[in-house]
Amino acid sequence: MQEEKCVVHFPKTGKHIASIPETSVYEIPFMYERAKKAFMNWSKLKIEERLSYFTALKRVMLEELEELVEKISLDTGKVKTEALVADLMPTLDFLKHLENTAAKTLGRQKVSTPLLFIGKKSYVEYMARGTVLVISPWNYPFQLSMVPILSALIGGNTVIAKPSEVTPFVGIVMEELFKKAKFPEGVIQFAHGGKELGAALTEQKPDYIFFTGSVQTGKIIGQVAAKHLIPITLELGGKDPMIVLKDANLKRAAKAAVWGAFTNSGQVCMSVERLYVEKEVYEPFLSLLREEVAKLKQGYGLNDDVGSMTFPKQKEIVRAHIEDALKQGAKLETGAPPHEWKEDSMFIPLMVLSGVTRDMRVIKEETFGPVLPIIPFNTVEEAVELANDSEYGLSASVWSSDLDKASSIASQLVSGAVVINDVIVSIANHHLPFGGTKQSGIGRYHGEQGLRMFCHEKAIVVDDGKKKTEIQWYPYKGKYRDFVALFKEYYSHKGVNWIKFLKHYRELIKKSNQES
């Protein structure tokens, strides 16, 4: 049987970079067996012992930093600065974050014990689930793979990772990093291939599935997981709104809108994909946008701002959205219509669209490209209604010099995150949860829950074992009235009369000891 291969091309030129052997679907059961075997030892290590491997991984990444930047840029078409700042830096920062917080977050947690359980102590322990399947996307193929992989590993799980077949070179790069950091065999394995491989991996009943990608694929994975009662996290798409009030710092907001819409050529789930501007400042703000876009340079050089698209199929989705908008009367304030694009190029002109309406595809569907549609609004209430009028709810931003007003608007937005007077950056704070509402996904990662979700929570209650019996144990003879009086006293809206409470409690102890 001929070995299938993922072929890697540089998006700029189409130049062949590498051919990567695909993982055979027949290999998958053996991968799960290796993961299960490795779990027996990896899960028993202390967190500090696991962290030693993470420290080694960070050291290798720093030693090879510029080489990693080059490889990510080659595979994705993004400029090197974005590969460094948006793919590698968040991963390095997360490794440092784990070194500082993982032991405390995943260690045994003492919790309160009800007064009626006098003499006992209560704790929560975090127990690894088993083998975690991580399926990651192509837009940030390093960061969006590594953070969930590392989150699962630190809790004692083993991981099988399937990087995107669109950026397979980065998948090999990550696999080699773990080998150089000398992670034990079977603890982290990579499966390289397309949708057929992904389907086969989910059908093998992993103990947890973490998926980042499209809504369509996420729903399919959710169905498989439900069939086998597999817990999942789904990080899906976005159509993120930016609301600019007339009292905002307009120059700052314009710069942010342009960066938020065009960073990584718009291929960001948290991109600014809908821009709502208060009508009084709409025209001057539009002028500022045109000025900012005119300053940008597209290319692959160190001094360029915006790289190319990564995936040819995504370019066609952007084309369809623009053609639909122009056909319905929208106007290109910057950029060029699709019939003027270079067919053999993965670069798309940076487009600001005016005259758009809420029923256009460019407003309703995730575009995932360098497109910024702008719509005026009259009142704050209208802005909130427009922002919430979407099947997505991943991130949003509000711009105003009145922080109280901005915070009030933020609280009304149905969104997993809201940033005030900035865009996108909430994902870079590893103390904050990340995830969406509505069609943007299920579950959260980052923050404490981002580590604990990969573990079972185990309740522990400890008694010193010195008492002969407990008041709630058999026999019940003669205890009923004392229990009634005890509970009425303890839960009284007037507050507890501790003298009466202790009287009934001692009576229950006395009757329990008499029978023991």
Residues that are catalytic: 235, 269
Measured CA to CA, the distance from residue 51 to residue 342 in angstroms comes to: 49
The answer for 86, left when phi > 0, alpha when psi is -120 to 50, beta otherwise, is: alpha
**Under DSSP, is residue 120 helix (H, G, I), strand (E, B) or coil?**
strand
β-strands 158-162, 188-190 pairing: parallel
**Tokens at 360, concatenated:** 């256009």
Measure the CA–CA gap between 420 and 63, rounded to whole angstroms: 36
Residues in the chain: 516
Q: State the residue for tokens 């053999």.
A: 344
The angle formed by the CA atoms of residues 160, 60 and 448, to the nearest 5 degrees, is 55
Q: Which residues contact 199 (CB under 8 A, 6 or more apart)?
A: 220, 224
Considering only CA atoms, which of 259, 148, 255 is closest in space to residue 208? 148
Task: Copy the structure tokens of residue 429.
Answer: 């704070």
In this structure, how many other beta carbons lie within 10 angstroms of the beta carbon of residue 488? 12
CA distances in angstroms from 501 to 470, 482, 486, 497, 498, listed in the order given: 17, 10, 6, 6, 5
Say if residues 122 and 110 touch (Cβ distance below 8 Å).
Answer: yes
Could you give the CA distance from residue 347 to residue 326 in angstroms, rounded to a whole number?
Answer: 20
User: Rounded distance, CA 93 to CA 403, Å?
Assistant: 29
Cis peptide before 475 (omega within 30 of 0): yes
Q: Residues 336, 349: contact at Cβ < 8 Å?
A: yes
CA pair distance 395, 422, nearest whole angstrom: 12
Quick one: tokens of 463?
A: 């008694």
In this structure, what token pair is assigned to residue 490? 């303890």
